[in-house]
Amino acid sequence: MTKQLRNPDRMKPKQAAKPARKQQATKQEKRAARRPQKDDAPARTSAPRAARPSRSSGKPTQDAVAGRNPVVEALRAGVPATELIIASRAEMDERMMEALRLAKNANLAIKEVARGVLDIMTGTTNHQGIGLVIKEFQYTNFDDLLNKAKNPALIIGMDGVTDPHNLGAIVRSASAFGADGVVIPERRNASMTGSAWKSSAGAAARMPISQVTNLVRSIEDAKKAGLFVVGLDADGQESLPQFSLAKDSIYVIVGSEGKGLSRLVREKCDVILSIPMNSEMESLNASVATAIVMHWIAAERAQ
């Protein structure tokens, strides 16, 4: 006798229930599809304004000489330039008129720009309304510099002088005191940019400047040519009043204000020279110290 089941539906396989999340997601998609089209558009966002460039960023966009006297001096000396830039509504005086005349005679392009544009091009607001965009500096070959030096020769080298204003000031002093040339290394030293041109007040156009790949090698070449190598350092063993090589051909190397002479350069020097100072003063600016030594040498040679 067969026993009848009270609830035969229990023997039927159960159908898998649809996940609630999937049904809920489908409903959300349907609701989204029924929304007005304007709601589907992404919300408007205001793009942030680009920051305006600083009027005095300190990083010029052009290699330029700025200032009325430096520009006139550079034009007088025939500094290789590409164009003269004048600020709009700049006050005209004799120097501005001379700069315009010299630029026209040299067939240079003359442009008038807004003062803010000139600020950015020169990297300073102290341009006095005028700037001269210069070409890449043409350095003198070191061998040519040695061959053309007078007797006794005076050549100034730099070892780690990274401030272009110091470089320009040293070039200016070298020109004033009759040096035969200036030598700078390619690495870890300032080069002849517009800032150095301005600090030299046009003297860079009259002073041969050599850029060497290896300063130590230039020292060795100078010794072969008969020059004594004199290092200028605050810790020098010989004081300037006792310096006995002033009337000989010399190659003076000035070190950086922070570190002084590098080890290899110091080892190659024949003499390490120092300037006597009050004990309260740690050291002099590199350009000031170099000018003092050159003045002292010039005075000794004049005797």
Whether residue 12 has pLDDT greater than 90: no
Give the structural domain span for 298: 142-302
Q: In this predicted structure, what is the pLDDT of residue 8?
A: 46
Is residue 168 a part of any domain in this protein?
yes
The percent of the chain in helix, strand and coil, each rounded to the nearest 5, is 40, 20, 45
If asked whether residues 165 and 291 sit together in one domain, one would say yes
Residues 275, 228 within the same domain: yes
Domain count, the chain: 2
* Nearest-angstrom CA–CA distance, 248 and 230: 11
Average pLDDT of the residues of the chain: 81
Statement to judge: residues 114 and 151 lie in one domain: no
Is residue 107 situated within a structural domain? Answer: yes
Tell me the pTM: 0.67
Which of residues 87, 104, 134 is at a domain's end?
A: 134
Query: How confident is the model at residue 55, as a pLDDT?
Result: 47
**Which of 92, 108, 134 is where one domain is finished?**
134
259: CB partners within 8 A, 6+ apart = 160
Cα–Cα distance between 212 and 221 in angstroms, integer?
Answer: 12
CATH code, domain carrying 197: 3.40.1280.10
Judged against a pLDDT cut of 50, whether residue 52 lies above it is answered with: no
In 3D space, the residue among 49, 86, 46 whose CA is nearest the CA of residue 64 turns out to be: 86
- 263, 290: one domain: yes
Q: Please, which pLDDT band fits residue 58 given cuts at 50, 70 and 90?
A: low
At 81, which CATH number? 3.30.1330.30
Per-residue pLDDT averaged across 179-197, rounded?
87
Output DSSP code: residue 10.
G
**Same domain, yes or no: 229 and 191:** yes
Domain membership of residue 24 (yes or no) is no
In the 8-state DSSP scheme, what is residue 108? -
Dihedral of the alpha carbons of 7, 8, 12, 18, in degrees to the nearest 10: -30
Do 231 and 187 lie in one domain? The reply is yes
Could you say which of 116, 134, 152 is where a domain stops? 134
14 belongs to a structural domain? no
Amino acid at position 187, single letter = R
